[in-house]
Chains A and B, each alone.
Chain A
Amino acid sequence: MQRRSMIKTLGAAAFAAAGVSFGLGLAAGPALADAFPDHPVSLMVAYSPGGATDFQARIVTMMAADDKYLKQPIVILNRPGAGGKVGWNQFASKAKTDGYEMAAYNVPHFIAQSIVFDTKYTIGNLEPVGNWGADPAVFVVNKDSPFNSVADMVAYAKANPGKVTVSGAGLYVGHHIAFLQIQKAAGAELKYVPHKGGAPALKSVLGGQVMAGVNNLSDAYRSRDNLKILGIADLERDKDFLPDVPTFKEQGFDVDDSSVNFRGIMVRKGTPQAVIDVLADAVPKMFDDARVKKQMKAGGSPVRVMNRDQVKAMWAERQAFLTELLKDLKQN
């Protein structure tokens, strides 16, 4: 008797559920095809909350719900781990391809990792939407350090091979690429100490646990009173934030801009072209919004807006370059 009524209750509940969902499905059907997006869009960031990528992603997406852009908010979610591999692997293999699940990319990180490791992501299975920023790597030492230039550090490293420890935010991220380039250009053996993100890596320099560090321009800029910023891994000096810091090239070391950290938004391959078109149109405009730019500048984050085609070209160019660089450097 008891069992029977239990089954009855369950049956009734299931029937009710089916009825409700069927009705709603009918109602929602035509609306879905109407306009993308009709509900909030998520943006996966492969780094922890509070990191530079997370922080910038939150700023550049704050205007998404505006009528001029997506008309729906973008919700940030963090899936950190292993320098971005956890988040991007999951994204490239499991994310939905309806445009409602986007991810933030970091170049050269994801491209370099896809070359070195057996990852599920490559530039081939991801579709760029737009680029919002470019943050060059800088070489820093503690303000009490005896090194006053990159040359000082290199001279010491040549006399003491393997004794110069250099912190950075993990393996095969922009910092590590810059480190590999610096080591190659200097012709000296340095020791890379990977950390879980830029902030802990910078902390190691400030706390004197390592002798030097490669870090984001924006983070190093904020701590400039306790650091000496010896070089910038870019083609030109940074006029806005660090006009007095020379590039590596100026100091005679052949380090170009391949480690510059480009950040932007991508979706999975297989997303309908119509949806990509909507995003590729609205997202770069949103990055260009005056309020977004103002807050990015206030936060010390360099902005560089690029549209989908420009990012596509940039990805392909980095892919070729990094394949060459890593083939060369992996043997070290």
Chain B
Amino acid sequence: MEFLTYFGEVFTPLNALFLLLGTVGGLLLGATPGLSPTMAVALLIPFTFHMEPASGLILLGAAYTSTVAGGAVSAILLKIPGAPANIATTLDGHVMAQQGRAAEALHYCFISSGIGGVLGIFVLIFFTPMLAGWALSFGPSHMFWIAILGVTVIASLDAGGSLIRGMIAGCIGLWISTIGYDEIQGVERFVFSSHLEGGINVIAALIGLFAIPQVLAILEKGRAKRNTNLFDIQPQSFGTSLRICIGKVKALTIGSVVGIIVGLIPGAGGQIAGLVAYDQTRKLSRNPDAFGKGESEGVIAAESANNAMVGPSLVPLLTLSVPGSPTAAVLLGGLLIHGIFPGPNLFNDYPDVAWTFIDSLLVGQILMVVFGIGLSRVAAQVIRIPESVLAGAVTVLALFGTFSVQHSYSDVIVMLVLGVAMYWLGKYKFSSAPLVLGIVLGPIAETNYVQGAIIADSQDGLAAYFLTGTLNLVLIGVCLASVAYSVVMEVRRRKVIRHMDLRKRMPRPTFPPEALVLAAAVALIWISFTADQDGAYLFPQVIAVAMALCAMAGLFSCYALGASLMNEELGWVQVRNLALGLGLIVLYVLVADTLGFYLSGALIFAALAVLYDPAGRSPRLLMVRGASALGFMIVIYLLFDQLLRVQAPRGIFL
């Protein structure tokens, strides 16, 4: 109960101020695509140089807590997850927003984040010594199976699409993750263009695959009048939300428990927590078919999981000085610059710092809920922003967020290319989530397999290393159960589709993406089986073969069974509407490097906001939209360039 004695420290005026700043700032940064929790915390490190150790940690801890939740705001409102951890939140959260339930979804998001977060920190407070050793016992074989568990889940993630298309998207994602150097042996793979030399950055892919299709979906409508009722916001009182949310005991429990377990395991990361929690909640739900159609439990499970992860991810850091996540690694730096060495003696040597920090995390969770709910009133209004303005703002942020990660212009180009491809695939009911998760999970599976194989070689061989031991067997069991469940569900769903006799109502696609994927898979099989350093091509080989099989199954179901789910054809009207906007976006990406981000950003923002406004163009509109473009860029400049020192592409102006 020692943590209770240091609560006073959290509420000294200065510390309370930092807690507040960290929370509010974290929510805003988290909602910005590209600024992952790790990056947000890293950006704040310089500010802590001049602070007392406890104050500095409070700022960092509060930012960590609230960036994780903040990423859900854009996931719900715009279907653009702020970080990979919020991918699962988009699945039901954005559907809820489309149903006019944005306020409700945001409430659930913050309440469940708070509940999961507090539980996670209690685990940190009470069970740290007990769990630290257990957390370290996860070796490469276990991490490999955890990644495979994630892979088994991604295909069936999007309930709206077909399982086969989910699998194809997952395979594409896994393959994308092998582009660039392989992490262990340093062999360069699939570098078809110099822009791919550094591999495909996860954040760039996340932004491209989620944000760009959203922008293009707005642009394809051209200047047609929109159905404004679609994005209504029905108010719901906080009390009602709280009551309903707490009533969802099962989703909260599964989310929190999964988040805590995954958080404890070093190297697993929050993206898996949200994903696995969402999937488990759906599988254990009495009404799994409601998921993906605006089921609040989906939001609650995903968000309670990714915040429950925060506390436990610090367990190995504080007790053994081993950072369990990238964000924990950055926090370690925040401790070290003040000469505080985490480890077994931390709580004896610096009880004031350690406990004040942990207490502030606890208070931070509560503050996050309070400000999050407050913010959600304002944030939900994002939906009321004219779509053409939104398209401009998202385009600007997509470039900024992607570039800011590692100042790489190649990332920006990759982001745009992936985004346009995803928009096209989206027409055929492929979804972004399995693709991004493939990119996230691929390296975890591959790295741990390769490391495990080296270790196994010095022991009793591959089979003994990967297939024996209680923990391995449990994880394999969970993987098999996950696959079996998905197959059963798919068979059941196919019967329903057959019953509806979609063959008659759905036109067969003239050019199904499966054909292209199959062609690509064949090429990849050829490349990866004929490569010189075949040791480094084991994973690409497996992925390419799986991709080819899935594509063939997809083509078969498309033509032989006629079970195509395509219901949006990309017509000429849409292509014409798109052409101008997409042309401008491409131009923007090409000139931002020479013209400078701020000038070109203001121009594209204004151009899209004016050209795609259904009300038509008037000098007044031009003025208003020009001013909002300018204001938007000024806010970005002040907040990021001046305050946080995040650099954007420089040009002749700035």
Contacts and interface: CB of A to CB of B under 8 A. Distances in A.
A and B pair up: yes
The interface centre, meaning the residue of A87, A164, A299 with most chain B CB atoms within 10 A of its CB, is A299
A303 to B, nearest CB: 14
Interface string A179-202: 000000000000111111001101
A50 B333 contact: yes
B320 A49 contact: no
A49 B181 contact: no
B323 to A, nearest CB: 6
A79 B406 contact: yes
Interface string A204-242: 101111100000000100110110000000000000000
Nearest to B329: A50
A73 interface: yes
A295 B332 CA distance: 14
Nearest to A197: B329
Q: Which 3 A-B pairs have the closest CB atoms?
A: A50-B329, A298-B339, A82-B181
B455 A193 contact: yes
A77 B320 contact: no
B150 to A, nearest CB: 18
Interface in B420-460: 447, 451, 454-455, 457-459
A195 B345 CA distance: 27
Interface stretch (B39-47, B117-125, B293-301): B39-47
Contacts of A208: 136-137, 139
B339 A171 contact: no
B259 to A, nearest CB: 21
Contact of A21 (B327, B595, B610): B595
Interface string B643-654: 001110011110
B261 interface: no
Interface in B93-149: 136-140
A24 B647 contact: no
A20 interface: yes
Nearest to A299: B336
Contacts of A40: 645, 647
A175 interface: no
Contact of A86 (B180, B458, B580, B645): B180
Interface stretch (B69-77, B165-173, B599-607): B599-607
Contacts of A148: none
Contact of A25 (B199, B459, B652): B652
A58 interface: yes
A191 B451 CA distance: 11
A191 B457 contact: yes
A300 B607 CA distance: 53
Contacts of B333: 49-50, 54-55, 58
A302 interface: no
B503 interface: no
A164 B455 CA distance: 9
5 contacts: A13-B606, A50-B327, A78-B406, A195-B451, A226-B343
B336 A298 contact: yes
A59 interface: yes
A329 interface: no
Contact of A5 (B197, B455, B617, B650): B617
Contacts of A17: 595, 599, 603
Contacts of B323: 50, 199
B590 to A, nearest CB: 14
Given A58-B333, A86-B180, 14 more contacts: A17-B599, A44-B406, A50-B326, A50-B333, A75-B645, A75-B647, A85-B186, A90-B408, A162-B458, A191-B458, A207-B138, A222-B321, A223-B320, A298-B339
Contacts of A75: 645-647
B180 A300 contact: no
Contacts of A272: none
Interface size class of B (residues with CB under 8 A): 35 or more
Interface in A49-84: 49-51, 54-55, 58-59, 62, 73, 75-79, 81-83
A206 B337 CA distance: 24
B328 interface: yes
A168 to B, nearest CB: 11
A42 B606 CA distance: 30
Interface residues of A, number: 73
B329 A20 contact: no
A221 to B, nearest CB: 8
B461 interface: no
Which of A21, A62, A162, A199 has the largest number of chain B CB atoms within 10 A?
Answer: A199
Interface string B508-545: 00000000000000000000000000000000000000
A271 interface: no
A181 B494 CA distance: 61
Contacts of A300: 336, 341
Interface of A: 5-6, 9-10, 13, 17, 20-21, 24-25, 28, 39-40, 42, 44, 48-51, 54-55, 58-59, 62, 73, 75-79, 81-83, 85-87, 89-90, 113, 117, 162-165, 170-172, 191-196, 199-200, 202-204, 206-210, 219, 222-223, 225-226, 295, 297-300
A298 B339 CA distance: 4
A209 B265 CA distance: 14
Contacts of A203: 136, 266-267, 316, 322
Contact of B603 (A13, A195, A295): A13
Contacts of B330: 49-50
Contacts of B607: 9-10, 13
Contact of B322 (A171, A202, A295): A202
Contacts of A82: 180-183, 186
B611 interface: yes
Interface in B372-431: 406-408, 410
Interface of B: 38-39, 42, 45-46, 49, 136-140, 180-186, 197-199, 266-267, 316, 320-323, 326-333, 336-339, 341-345, 406-408, 410, 447, 451, 454-455, 457-459, 580, 595, 599, 603, 606-607, 610-611, 617, 622, 645-647, 650-653
A225 B321 CA distance: 10
Contacts of B650: 39
Given A86-B199, A206-B322, A81 B181 contact: yes
Contacts of A20: 599, 653
A170 to B, nearest CB: 8
Contacts of A194: 184-185, 451
Nearest to B36: A49
A21 B454 CA distance: 57
Contacts of B617: 5-6, 9
B441 to A, nearest CB: 15
Nearest to B325: A50
Given A50-B328, A86-B181, A81 B199 contact: yes
Given A81-B198, A82-B183, A85-B181, A199 B339 contact: no
Contact of A77 (B341, B407, B606): B407
A144 to B, nearest CB: 11
A172 B42 CA distance: 27
A12 B316 CA distance: 59
Contacts of A21: 595, 599, 651-653
The winner among A48, A50, A59 for most chain B CB atoms within 10 A is: A50
A17 B651 CA distance: 13
A207 B338 CA distance: 27
Contacts of B198: 79, 81, 86-87, 89-90
Given A55-B336, A62-B46, A163-B458, A200 B595 contact: no
A166 B559 CA distance: 54
Nearest to B406: A79
Interface centre among A28, A87, A207, A225 (most CB of B within 10 A): A207
A300 B340 CA distance: 10
Nearest to A172: B186
A13 B455 CA distance: 62
B458 A165 contact: yes
Given A77-B406, A164-B458, A199-B329, A42 B336 contact: no
B343 A223 contact: yes
